[in-house]
Amino acid sequence: MRILLQKVSEASVVIEGELIAQIEAGILIFFCAMNEDSMEQAHYLARKIKNLRIFCDDQGKMNKSILDIKGSTLVVSQFTLAADTSRGNRPGFSRAAHPDEGKRLYNGFCELLSDQGLDVKTGRFGADMAVHLVNDGPITIWLDTSKP
């Protein structure tokens, strides 16, 4: 699995002019299931995100988790994180999970985040979404279960 997370002061998803989901302070999570991924990776990433200390304490140090600040998460499916750009100029996406499996893993991941006590909002799997965000920091972190 590949995840790109961004600490945000606000984020939202709009589909065909309709506001689907919106958060204030928290984490925007772009999620991509890859071939061979399983719920085991989703469990690992949900725990990692819950405990990741990327929010500042009173001294300005990144010592607080999303639970500590009572923040929200907005999870957006994004198969393009599986892009292979090693040949030519058109990215290939053959390493992304099949859409049915990707959707199962996406929904499972969102459920796991919720089970961890996080407030979870979502985009719509497979939809053409407009994602609006105000990156805070900016703090952007790449998580990939295929890399140590």
Over residues 6-34, mean pLDDT: 97
Identify the active-site residue in 73, 80, 122, 145: 80
| Residue 146's pLDDT band (cuts 50, 70, 90) | confident
Cα angle: 22, vertex 64, 37; to 5 degrees: 65
Query: Within the chain, what is the greatest distance between any pair of CA atoms?
Result: 49
Over residues 131-143, mean pLDDT: 96
Over residues 48-68, mean pLDDT: 97
Domain extent listing, the chain? 2-144
24 within 8 A of 9, measured Cβ to Cβ: yes
Structure tokens at 42: 């989703």
| Residue 147's pLDDT band (cuts 50, 70, 90) | low
Predicted TM-score (pTM) of this structure: 0.94
pLDDT in tens, 97-129: 999 999 999 999 999 999 999 999 999 999 999
Active site residue 140: no
Which CATH number is 2-144 given? 3.50.80.10
